[in-house]
């Protein structure tokens, strides 16, 4: 295993595999309208729109400095986003953390007692492998783990 040498020693001991907040996901009712709203907010347009058919969502991504925001609209009534909006209304849906090795991280979190919703990572938007933790075990916050698929390939 290669240990990153640019991180401060105290962080490299504590941070395990959660590298940073990769993005924050926001559930919206009308993606086209929200794209306009967030373009006004950030002063620039979204840089990508992507539909994840298996999840019943259409997503768009914005960058605000180094941070990313993912807007999610349901594409059918069985979509988790449709159910979320039904229960809670529009708003923050999940926080996604970048991880180095999603399989290792899923195992680590299960051993720590968290409920992982999908043990085998799925293909998510923006070229990522993703897994979710049940909000029951994370103080009501849906946590997404994501690993960049491109990171594993030779560039």
Binding site for Zn ion (CB under 5 A): 25, 70, 96, 144
Q: Which residue is nearest to Zn ion (CB)?
A: 25
Q: Please, which residue, 7 or 21, has the CB nearer to Zn ion?
A: 21
Residues 6+ apart with CB under 8 A from 47: 61, 62, 63
Q: Please, which residue, 92 or 113, has the CB nearer to Zn ion?
A: 92
Q: Please, which residue, 61 or 114, has the CB nearer to Zn ion?
A: 61
CB of 84 to Zn ion, least distance (A): 13
CB of 87 to Zn ion, least distance (A): 18
Q: Please, which residue, 25 or 80, has the CB nearer to Zn ion?
A: 25
CB of 68 to Zn ion, least distance (A): 9
CB of 115 to Zn ion, least distance (A): 18
């Amino acid at each position: 295993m290669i240990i990153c040498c640019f991180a401060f020693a105290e962080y490299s001991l504590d941070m395990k595999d959660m590298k940073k907040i990769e993005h924050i996901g926001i559930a919206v009712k009308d993606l086209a309208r929200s794209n306009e709203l967030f373009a006004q907010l950030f002063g620039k347009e979204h840089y990508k729109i992507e539909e994840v058919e298996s999840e019943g969502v259409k997503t768009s991504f914005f960058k605000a400095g180094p941070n990313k925001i993912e807007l999610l609209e349901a594409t059918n009534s069985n979509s988790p986003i449709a159910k979320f909006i039904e229960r809670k209304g529009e708003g923050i849906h999940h926080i996604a953390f970048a991880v180095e090795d999603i399989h290792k991280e899923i195992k680590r979190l299960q051993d720590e007692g968290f409920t992982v919703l999908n043990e085998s990572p799925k293909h998510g938007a923006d070229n990522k492998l993703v897994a979710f933790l049940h909000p029951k075990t994370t103080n009501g916050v849906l946590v997404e783990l994501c690993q960049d698929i491109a990171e594993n390939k030779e560039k």
